[in-house]
């Protein structure tokens, strides 16, 4: 391609100044109001590492306690808190958030975007994570940490005598963090699908982006069942609704289902992003393109799907029918195929290239070796008969640490060494890196390999001590020594990151000679890329001649910020053709206020401070409305702008072309999954009982059907509202929206009236409880819908929602599609299903 023309020197200087001003990082306390991916990504990563170190200290305490038999270094109760918090923090506050953090930092430069589409949402996610994480971790200093194991099985965890407030802290603190995860999923899916640099077709996307797209999709289907489970769990603990109480028709197994429908895909949600880092590192160190790009896509998509067919292999010992176990055993074996494909692709790439063995490769290769051992023991425990022997022993502890540390921690450290120059402009030390690697690699194996043996010799997991002479003594002592060696290795990494590097000379860009786009970023500029390049290769930095120079000279798209606004391009899903120029949110306080207020809601709920809960909820709503009003669906001062290279793009798009519509769609898919999990609960109770109503009254047919009719009518009115608005009638739109508002309110109240008028007591039996939950879920969504309608009316009266500028009404109608499905399902199930019995 002929190089695009270059602007005169003084014009370029002026452009650079404007861009620099627009993207400038605020100083002083306002630094923390930054929403740019480079700041938020670094905070997020650092926080996740800090939580990891905290959980690592807990692990060392536990290993010290277990070093010798009959030890009394820790009390039994503290030991319970330590292992519960260790697992919880490592999974929820390190492994999952770490991938979100890395993705927020890396995805925009990899895709050639200036920022993710919703930077304020990223900031909101980070602050939520920080607050929720600090709350959960802090509990151990008050002897109030959760102590029932990281998967919180009832009836142990629903027993208030035993578990105290710890279980509430776990449930509410983590629900809050799950909100942040879903926010990240929205951000990453929309970013990957819609914000790629022009020309970056789906066959040219960096593999990291492919993996992230799949992982974000998995979050949408994996996290909501846990949120639904948390809701049921908290209703049982707070209000005595007997979802998991067998005496009143509940069943603890339902929690296990909901937890592991989340928990097993989560393992892959952790593993795939880490392996995605390897898919970026391996080609660079082999100095050639990946062998089998399509095979990696196969592996990512295939693993993403199959990982949802594995959850019951955590429940092999619960007495489910053997045919059920066999289905999950089969899927557990099938997932080995795509997992293996990735490893063979990496090996093939290394064989075909000229390998440079740097520190990132060392950690990567060492991690894969560990992971493969964990994978092989995984194949063993996926077989039900073997699992019955190994269940709840140290064999499982060994297996899961081999998988998680080999499949996540080592690749993440590899990524840290690899991407550090992108953040700081300097490399970490090769020598320290190698020392760290060997300490960690040897320490890890010394710590965890003996656990296979202690497990096979019958040592159960989670015991705080053991008598001598059972054949476990030496194995445990060796494990403890290994754990300290491993920790020492990690401390070397921490030291390497924290040591001052100002005397080290700054490197030139792309010090590893990588081929992918992120390396053309300038570490000392906040704007990402100086201009958004046109992509013609999977490895543009290798294949596109003078790409860095032309990009820096502002020869490509959006080289300027004439209007003083932060902007990036929105492109089409398949071929990345430019659609419109999007103005992204700048630095703001509203996400911080919203996160702190929402955090206060969850914390106040934990302590059952109802007034504080209500006040915080009100503040949250206010902050979100302010954020939406001032920062979304803004009407631009002109219809379009010249973005360079002779291309003029619109500044406003609504419906499926706009990123907001996609965000709503994705959020509602997650919401729908949570709802689906509650419906699953309803039918689950039906299967386990002869008569699951236990002879108690149902909500009848009349009121549920009346509610259903109201919701359907409201939906039709919303369709009409969107239609008449498009035809130019603001008054018609307002009337239709007003009528839909009234019908939704009536429908919600009517729905609640059914169980009310029939005297259904949710504490008496699980049947009334599950009916109340479904109906209340629908009514709450109706209330959220009413807020949206009031918002639309206000926007219309303020002139911000018009025929030409109709983002709001499109997005609200989309919400209404999902609301209608929710309402029809709820009322058909609670009203009609009892008749079919």
* 326 near another protein, rule: CB under 8 A: yes
Residue 684 CB, shortest distance to another protein, in Å, is: 9
Euclidean distance between CA atoms 377 and 399, whole angstroms: 6
* 657 near another protein, rule: CB under 8 A: no
* 538 near another protein, rule: CB under 8 A: yes
Nearest CB to another protein, comparing residues 163 and 339: 339
Residue 330 CB, shortest distance to another protein, in Å, is: 4
Classify the C-alpha dihedral 494-496-501-506 as positive or negative: negative
* 289 near another protein, rule: CB under 8 A: yes
The span of 201-209, 486-494, 496-504, 549-557 binding another protein (CB under 8 A) equals 201-209
Report the SS3 class of residue 155: coil
* 694 near another protein, rule: CB under 8 A: no
Would you give the binding string for another protein spanning residues 614-653, x where CB under 8 A is met? Answer: ----------------------------------------
Nearest CB to another protein, comparing residues 323 and 731: 323
Nearest CB to another protein, comparing residues 199 and 455: 199
DSSP type of residue 490: H
Candidate residues 322, 630, 648, 763; the one interacting with another protein per rule CB under 8 A? 322
Candidate residues 161, 294, 502, 545; the one interacting with another protein per rule CB under 8 A? 294
Nearest CB to another protein, comparing residues 35 and 569: 569
- ∠ CA 728-734-740, rounded to 5°: 125
Residue 291 CB, shortest distance to another protein, in Å, is: 8
Residue with tokens 């754990």: 483
Residue 581 CB, shortest distance to another protein, in Å, is: 22
Query: Are 242 and 236 within 8 A, CB to CB?
Result: yes
| # residues near another protein by CB under 8 A | 45
Give 544-564 as a DSSP string: STTHHHHHHTT-SB----TTS
* 265 near another protein, rule: CB under 8 A: no
The span of 170-178, 231-239, 243-251, 314-322 binding another protein (CB under 8 A) equals 314-322
Q: What does the block give as tokens for 463? A: 């015991």
Give 599-651 as a DSSP string: HHHHHHHHTT-HHHHHHHHHHHHHHHHHHHHHHSSPPPSSSEEEEETTEEEES
Euclidean distance between CA atoms 131 and 177, whole angstroms: 9
Nearest CB to another protein, comparing residues 495 and 683: 683
* 204 near another protein, rule: CB under 8 A: yes
Nearest CB to another protein, comparing residues 139 and 332: 332
* 386 near another protein, rule: CB under 8 A: no
Q: Shortest CA distance to 388 belongs to which of 457, 322, 460, 316?
A: 316
Candidate residues 87, 108, 191, 199; the one interacting with another protein per rule CB under 8 A? 199
DSSP type of residue 4: P
Candidate residues 12, 63, 86, 201; the one interacting with another protein per rule CB under 8 A? 201
Residue 536 CB, shortest distance to another protein, in Å, is: 4
Residue 302 CB, shortest distance to another protein, in Å, is: 5
Euclidean distance between CA atoms 111 and 190, whole angstroms: 12
The span of 305-313, 467-475, 508-516, 737-745 binding another protein (CB under 8 A) equals 305-313
Candidate residues 50, 156, 320, 612; the one interacting with another protein per rule CB under 8 A? 320
Nearest CB to another protein, comparing residues 238 and 688: 688
* 319 near another protein, rule: CB under 8 A: yes
- ∠ CA 126-196-419, rounded to 5°: 55
Q: Shortest CA distance to 45 belongs to which of 456, 662, 497?
A: 497
* Residues in region 165-194 near another protein by CB under 8 A: 193
* Residues in region 329-368 near another protein by CB under 8 A: 329-331, 333-334, 337-338
* 687 near another protein, rule: CB under 8 A: yes
* 655 near another protein, rule: CB under 8 A: no
Candidate residues 293, 316, 682, 827; the one interacting with another protein per rule CB under 8 A? 293
Q: How many CB atoms lie within 10 A of CB 70?
A: 8
Residue 249 CB, shortest distance to another protein, in Å, is: 14
Q: Name the helix (H) or strand (E) containing 582.
A: strand 578-583
Q: Shortest CA distance to 280 belongs to which of 212, 340, 378, 351?
A: 212
Euclidean distance between CA atoms 411 and 821, whole angstroms: 42
Nearest CB to another protein, comparing residues 87 and 515: 515
* 688 near another protein, rule: CB under 8 A: yes
* 506 near another protein, rule: CB under 8 A: no
Candidate residues 535, 570, 603, 829; the one interacting with another protein per rule CB under 8 A? 535
Candidate residues 42, 144, 301, 625; the one interacting with another protein per rule CB under 8 A? 301
Candidate residues 134, 298, 497, 786; the one interacting with another protein per rule CB under 8 A? 298
Residue 292 CB, shortest distance to another protein, in Å, is: 8
Q: Name the helix (H) or strand (E) containing 583.
A: strand 578-583
Nearest CB to another protein, comparing residues 798 and 836: 836
Euclidean distance between CA atoms 493 and 495, whole angstroms: 5
Long-range contacts (CB closer than 8 Å, 24 or more residues apart) made by 615-624 = 619/593, 620/594, 621/787, 623/590, 623/593, 623/594, 623/597, 624/594
* Residues in region 99-128 near another protein by CB under 8 A: none
Nearest CB to another protein, comparing residues 305 and 438: 305
The span of 4-12, 272-280, 300-308, 366-374 binding another protein (CB under 8 A) equals 300-308
* 306 near another protein, rule: CB under 8 A: yes
Query: Are 44 and 100 within 8 A, CB to CB?
Result: yes
* 59 near another protein, rule: CB under 8 A: no
* 130 near another protein, rule: CB under 8 A: no
Residue 295 CB, shortest distance to another protein, in Å, is: 7
Residue with tokens 């476990």: 472
Query: Are 753 and 746 within 8 A, CB to CB?
Result: no
The span of 35-43, 92-100, 352-360, 571-579 binding another protein (CB under 8 A) equals 571-579
- CB contact set of 378 (below 8 Å; sequence gap of 6+): 332, 336, 399, 403
* 133 near another protein, rule: CB under 8 A: no
Helices (H) and strands (E) in the chain, counts: 27, 4
Report the SS3 class of residue 543: helix
Q: Distance of CA 402 to CAs 264, 368, 373, 375, 576, Å?
A: 16, 10, 7, 8, 40
Euclidean distance between CA atoms 172 and 602, whole angstroms: 6
* 672 near another protein, rule: CB under 8 A: no
- CB contact set of 255 (below 8 Å; sequence gap of 6+): 152, 153, 154, 229, 232, 233, 243, 244
The span of 17-25, 443-451, 572-580, 703-711 binding another protein (CB under 8 A) equals 572-580
Give 733-759 as a DSSP string: HHHHHHHHHHHHHHHHHHHHHHHHHTT
Ramachandran area for residue 196 (φ above 0: left; ψ -120 to 50: alpha; else beta): beta
Nearest CB to another protein, comparing residues 144 and 645: 645
Nearest CB to another protein, comparing residues 452 and 538: 538
Candidate residues 308, 438, 449, 596; the one interacting with another protein per rule CB under 8 A? 308
Cis peptide before 175 (omega within 30 of 0): no
User: Where along the sequence are the contacts to another protein (CB under 8 A)?
Assistant: 193, 199, 201-204, 289, 292-295, 297-298, 301-302, 304-306, 308-309, 319-324, 326-331, 333-334, 337-338, 535-538, 573-575, 687-688
């Amino acid at each position: 391609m002929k190089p695009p023309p270059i602007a005169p020197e003084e014009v370029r200087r002026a452009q650079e100044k404007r861009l620099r001003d627009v993207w400038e990082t605020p100083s002083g306390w306002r630094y923390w109001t930054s929403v740019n991916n480079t700041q938020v990504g670094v905070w997020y990563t650092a926080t996740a590492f800090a939580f990891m170190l905290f959980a690592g200290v807990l692990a060392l305490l536990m290993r010290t306690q277990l070093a010798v038999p009959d030890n009394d270094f820790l009390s039994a109760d503290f030991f319970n808190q330590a292992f519960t918090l260790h697992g919880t923090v490592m999974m929820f506050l390190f492994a999952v958030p770490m991938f979100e953090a890395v993705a927020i930092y890396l995805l925009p430069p990899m895709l050639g975007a200036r920022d993710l589409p919703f930077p304020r949402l990223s900031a909101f996610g980070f602050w939520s994570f920080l607050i929720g994480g600090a709350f959960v971790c802090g509990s151990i200093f008050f002897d109030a940490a959760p102590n029932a194991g990281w998967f919180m099985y009832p009836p142990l965890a629903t027993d208030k005598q035993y578990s105290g407030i710890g279980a509430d802290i776990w449930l509410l603190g983590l629900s809050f963090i799950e909100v942040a995860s879903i926010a990240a999923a929205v951000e990453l899916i929309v970013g990957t699908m819609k914000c790629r640099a022009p020309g970056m077709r789906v066959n040219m996307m960096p593999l990291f982006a492919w993996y992230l797209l799949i992982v974000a999709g998995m979050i949408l289907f994996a996290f909501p069942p846990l949120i639904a489970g948390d809701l049921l769990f908290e209703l049982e603990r707070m209000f005595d609704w007997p979802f998991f109480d067998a005496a009143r028709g509940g069943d603890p197994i339902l929690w296990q289902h909901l937890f592991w429908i989340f928990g097993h895909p989560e393992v892959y949600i952790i593993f795939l992003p880490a392996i995605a880092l390897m898919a970026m590192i391996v080609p660079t160190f082999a100095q050639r393109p990946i062998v089998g790009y399509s095979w990696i896509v196969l592996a990512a998509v295939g693993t993403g799907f199959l990982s949802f067919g594995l959850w019951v292999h955590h429940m092999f010992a619960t007495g489910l029918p053997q045919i059920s176990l066999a289905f999950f055993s089969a899927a557990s074996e099938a997932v080995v195929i795509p997992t293996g494909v990735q490893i063979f692709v990496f090996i093939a790439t290394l064989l075909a290239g000229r390998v440079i063995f740097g520190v990132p490769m060392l950690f990567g290769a060492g991690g894969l070796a560990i992971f493969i051992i964990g994978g092989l023991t995984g194949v063993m425990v996926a077989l039900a008969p073997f699992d019955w022997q190994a269940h709840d022993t140290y064999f499982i502890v060994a297996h899961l640490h081999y998988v998680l540390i080999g499949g996540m921690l080592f690749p993440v450290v590899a990524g840290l060494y690899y991407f550090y120059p992108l953040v700081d402009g300097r490399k970490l030390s090769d020598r320290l890196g190698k020392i760290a690697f060997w300490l960690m690699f040897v320490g890890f194996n010394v710590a965890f390999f003996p656990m296979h043996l202690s497990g096979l010799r019958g040592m159960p997991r989670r015991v705080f001590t053991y008598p001598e002479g059972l054949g476990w003594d030496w194995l445990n002592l060796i494990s403890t020594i290994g754990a300290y060696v491993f920790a020492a290795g990690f401390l070397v990494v921490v030291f390497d990151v924290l040591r001052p590097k100002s005397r080290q000379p700054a490197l030139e860009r792309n010090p590893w000679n990588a081929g992918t786009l992120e390396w053309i970023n300038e570490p000392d500029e906040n704007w990402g890329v100086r201009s958004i390049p046109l992509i013609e290769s999977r490895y543009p930095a290798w294949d596109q001649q003078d790409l860095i120079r032309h990009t820096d000279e502002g020869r490509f798209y959006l080289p300027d910020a004439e209007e003083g606004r932060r902007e990036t391009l929105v492109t089409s899903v398949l071929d990345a053709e430019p659609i419109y120029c999007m103005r992204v949110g700048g630095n703001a306080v509203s996400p911080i206020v919203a996160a702190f207020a929402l955090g206060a809601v969850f914390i106040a709920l934990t302590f059952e401070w109802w007034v504080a809960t209500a006040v915080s909820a009100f503040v949250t709503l206010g902050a979100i409305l302010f954020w939406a009003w001032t920062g979304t669906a803004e009407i631009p001062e002109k219809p379009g702008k010249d973005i360079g290279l002779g291309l003029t793009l619109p500044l406003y798009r609504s419906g499926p072309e706009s990123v907001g519509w996609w965000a709503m769609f994705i959020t509602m898919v997650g919401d729908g999954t949570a709802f689906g999990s509650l419906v699953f609960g309803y039918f689950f109770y039906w299967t386990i009982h002869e008569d699951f109503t236990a002879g108690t009254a149902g909500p009848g047919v009349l009121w549920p059907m009346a509610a259903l009719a109201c919701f359907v009518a409201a939906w039709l009115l919303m369709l009409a509202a969107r239609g008449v608005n498009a035809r130019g009638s603001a008054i018609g739109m307002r009337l239709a929206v007003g009528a839909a508002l009234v019908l939704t309110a009536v429908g919600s109240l009517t729905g609640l009236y059914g169980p009310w008028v029939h005297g259904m007591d949710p504490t008496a039996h699980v049947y009334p409880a599950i009916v109340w939950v479904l109906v209340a879920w629908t009514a709450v969504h109706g209330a959220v819908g009413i807020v949206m309608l009031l918002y639309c009316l206000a926007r219309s009266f303020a002139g911000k929602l018009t025929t030409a500028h109709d983002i709001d009404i499109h997005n609200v109608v989309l919400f209404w599609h999902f609301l209608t499905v929710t309402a029809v399902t709820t009322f058909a199930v609670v009203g009609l299903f009892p008749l079919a019995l």
